Amino acid sequence: MDIKVKRAFVNDWETYLLMINEWSDEKKDVLNIDNVKNYFCEVLIGHVLFICFIDSVPAGFIICMNGIKSWNGTKTLREDSVFIRQEYRRLGVASALMNKAKEYAIDNGIKTFIGIASSFGSNDIDSAKIFFEKNGFNCIGYLMMNSME
């Protein structure tokens, strides 16, 4: 099994569309698919998005708010959304995405990476907390923090 994570850019919108359709079904949201490309481009403004592939097949994504924001005076990256396609769950996709986001944070001088358990897409907040803690985050209520220092 070959797991690769890459940063998404505008030309990756169709890959995102494939997954966002599944995410929408899972969350029971109604998406106007005609606007997905525009939405994707808007997401890339002020956010960073990584897509994970297993054997060249898109398996999941993570969207993080860019590190231009500051929390407690520290340059910060905040996990906004994580989605893993059903057939690729429990294979290390979410951890690979988190690791790539942490690498991005370190490379860009970001000192704090914040994850929000309720934005992880899980109805089981305790499972989300376990995931974040396994990936080096400290639990502060529903807020997870990872110091990059």
In this prediction, residue 99 has a pLDDT band, given cuts at 50, 70 and 90, of: very high
Q: For the residues of 103-141, what is the DSSP string, one character each?
A: HHHHHTT--EEEEEGGGGS-S-HHHHHHHHHHTTPEEET
We report the CATH number of the domain holding residue 64 as 3.40.630.30
**Tens digit of pLDDT for each residue in 48-94?**
899 999 999 999 999 888 655 555 667 788 888 888 898 998 999 99
| Higher-scoring residue by pLDDT: 88, 135 | 88
Which phi-psi region, left, alpha or beta, contains residue 141 (left: φ > 0; alpha: ψ -120 to 50)? left
Average pLDDT value over all residues in the chain: 78
* Domains identified in the chain, total number: 1
Domain of residue 30: give its range: 3-147
User: Which pair of tokens denotes residue 12?
Assistant: 């990756």
